[in-house]
Amino acid sequence: MVAMGQGWEGGWREPRDGVEFQAALRALRERSGLTFRDLERAAERRGEVLPRSTAAEMLRRAAPPAPRVLTAFVLACGDDANLERWLAARARIADHPEPAQAPPPPAALDRVPRQLPHAPATFVGRERELAGLDRLVAEAAGAAGGSLGLLTISGVGGVGKTWLALRWGHRNLDRYPDGQLYVNLRGFDPSAEPVPPAAAIRGFLDALGDDPLALPPEPEAQAARYRSLLAGRRVLIVLDNAAGADQVRPLLPGSGGSTVIVTSRDRLTGLIATEGARPLPLGLLAQDEARRLLTRHLGPDRPAAEPSAVDDILTVCGGLPLALAVVAARAAAHPSLPLRALAAELRDARLGLDAFDGGDTATDVRAVFSWSYRALSPEAARLFRLLGLHPGPDLSLPAAASLAGAPAHRVRPLLADLGRVHLVDQPAPDRYAPHDLLRAYARELVESFDPEADQRAARRRLMQHCLRSAEAANRRLAPHWEPLGLPPAPPGVTVEEPADREAALDWFAAEHPVLLGALDLAVAAGAPAEAWGLARALETYLDYRGHWHDWAATQRIALDAAVRLGDQAREADAHRALGRAYTQMGLLEDGHRHFTRALRRYRELGDDVSQADTRRGLGWVCDQLGRQRDALDHNDRALELYRRAGHRAGQALALNNVGWLHAVLGDHRRALDYCAQAVELNRELGDRHAEAGAWDSLGYAHHHLAEYVEAARCFARALVLVRGFGDRFHETEILNHLGDTQLAAGDLDAARSTRRAAVEIGGQIGHPAVEELRAKLKETEPD
């Protein structure tokens, strides 16, 4: 071995070209007597970095190595004295490379490997993904320098990654005349350790027909031999079920021509970033593909005979091919079993994932999911289990942080870990969604491993997150509403606070199903205070967006919660909210009954402002019932109560209602006076939503005075304001009024366009007058 700091024997001889340079490097290593492992350790002692694989690759390639790699190699070999000469020679050769020469043809292999497993018999669909693989391979083939075709297929366990790779491989065998290599790397197999890259290479060398007696003993040299055998060949290499990028890198060919397809539950971002891999994330089956897969297993007759049962099965399986295959296998094994009975068993939440057990670990959905779960850190595993407590269908980062009782900046990387192995998807920034069956698996785990006290605490934190975030968003939509008066958030609760009205609407739209689920969670947990608060905070949004059935359902829960709390004020609030919801739905008698009960409670409590609010509601119902005199009386008394209490926002609302009713009763000049007062007072208060209603009433009065230009101006102003709140119910009402004015003014085209818009929005939200709107539109349509 050469002593440190000495030159190699025979002195320095200047290499003339790249070939001599590489030969000199190999001679230096041979004279040093060091293995690749010895070189790595020697470099470390000299403060350099020289991985074994890098050294082996350096001696194989024709091009001179990078200066940093060359320095580490020369110092590790002990040729310190000639380091500057090595670097100078490397720079000269790199600056004046020899003319490119065609590589020699690869030596004939002793055999052509045919390792690809058989094509999946029941594969259906995935045409878009197969075409995507075709495109990615074509892109790699057309890339500069003939880059390696390296593709990754990632997805949740059971989604069909291996089947897709095999299907594509068998469809493209003619592209790879030099054969196919396949290895299951067992990256997520609980029954065995992941396959070491060296073992996979040894298997590939055997498949390629390499002489085992001629193999070098060092793994690095075997890897170099593997790359040499593949150089200039066209081989398909499928690396199935990889644990991560580090397991894959040593198995990659050193030059283009071949195609490597890697499947993994990991997203393999390291391969994408450093090796230029082209990713293909594999999602769930589309509904029509799932139906075809079930039919492929069962034949056409049984699914055709029970279409509703098939729909139920497809819904529960959620497009996961493994789940569909297990269910189909059970149905095929019991041909006399009605599909509706199987569907009922799948819907039974008490059975969890038991119905998706195919009899062995490869077809047991629970076991397949467990392979990904076991790859998680303890912190990420705990978070995954807690996701089973979330009502779904997806959740935000702050919601996940609240479940975990940890700051968002600590939870975000844990969610990234779950996403990396496809235990959650990320359909939008900072929103996460596990598959329904994965949620069921998480629920099984949390109920099995986490103490009941910890589960209760996590649910409580989640409910507090939903309640406080909804209250913050509602303040943006209805700043004049009386706040809930919540105490500071408990420890571990992360609250979302939308920045403005637009952000609040977006937040409610994203969280709508989650909040309804949280409300059910509060009921099941025996938390009436949270249930009442959530229902209250949802009111404005549900009203604006026309979700009146949800509004009524949530307020029935709020009423029951108030009774359980023994809180008469909250009970009265729930009755009043039910009155509003039922009136919006056109259930006027129900609305009147709940308003009347609320008024009685508020009288008992001596609450003048709430009595006034409720009288406005009674006025609204009476107006809808055609009892305009009663409606005017209710609103006059509401205005008196507001003035007595000094409640200016209520006064503005009552002024508008009184003006509207005078217009309906034919006193249009008096209506203008009241409505103009309402506009000015709402402007002073900054209540743009109420101002929109006042402009609408002003326009209505001007219309009936045949002042159509002024009426249209008022309606246009009202539309601008109301659209800023996303209030589709009142947008429909104002469009209806504007269309009437345009028609009366003789502008038929404008009236037709406006009425079409009113019918479209009214139909979307289920407006109770939508049939009347359609009839009015028909009047303006050409014959």
Beta-carbon contacts of 482 under 8 Å, excluding residues fewer than 6 positions away, are none
Sort strands 149-154 and 278-281 into parallel, antiparallel or unpaired: parallel
Q: What are the two backbone dihedrals, phi and then psi, of residue 122, each rounded to the nearest 5 degrees?
A: -105, 20
In DSSP terms, which residues pair with 395 in a beta bridge? 432
d(CA 568, CA 599): 12
In this predicted structure, what is the pLDDT of residue 106? Answer: 46
**Statement: the pTM of the whole predicted model exceeds 0.75:** no
Map residue 686 onto helix, strand or coil: coil
d(CA 218, CA 202): 11
d(CA 23, CA 760): 79
In this predicted structure, what is the pLDDT of residue 313? Answer: 85
Beta-carbon contacts of 627 under 8 Å, excluding residues fewer than 6 positions away, are none
pLDDT in tens, 394-413: 899 999 999 999 999 999 99
* Residue 344 token pair: 């009922």
User: CA 708, 714, 719, 722 torsion: positive or negative?
Assistant: negative
In this predicted structure, what is the pLDDT of residue 8? Answer: 42
Q: Please answer whether residues 738 and 719 qualify as being in contact, where contact means their C-beta atoms are separated by less than 8 angstroms.
A: yes
Q: Is 2 exposed, middle or buried (0-12, 13-18, 19+ CB in 10 A)?
A: middle
**Length of the chain measured in residues:** 783
d(CA 766, CA 783): 27
Map residue 547 onto helix, strand or coil: coil
Q: Please answer whether residues 48 and 72 qualify as being in contact, where contact means their C-beta atoms are separated by less than 8 angstroms.
A: yes
Q: Please answer whether residues 729 and 691 qualify as being in contact, where contact means their C-beta atoms are separated by less than 8 angstroms.
A: no
Structural element, H or E, at residue 721: helix 708-723
Q: Please answer whether residues 441 and 353 qualify as being in contact, where contact means their C-beta atoms are separated by less than 8 angstroms.
A: yes
Q: What is the CA radius of gyration of the chain?
A: 36
Q: Which residues of the chain have pLDDT under 50?
A: 1-10, 99-108, 144, 350
Q: What are the two backbone dihedrals, phi and then psi, of residue 338, each rounded to the nearest 5 degrees?
A: -65, 140
In this predicted structure, what is the pLDDT of residue 232? Answer: 82
- Show the CA angle centred on residue 719, arms to residues 713 and 724, nearest 5°: 140
- For residue 521, which of 669, 663, 392 has the smallest C-alpha distance? 392
d(CA 423, CA 442): 10
d(CA 486, CA 749): 52
In this predicted structure, what is the pLDDT of residue 82? Answer: 86
d(CA 186, CA 31): 40
In this predicted structure, what is the pLDDT of residue 7? Answer: 38
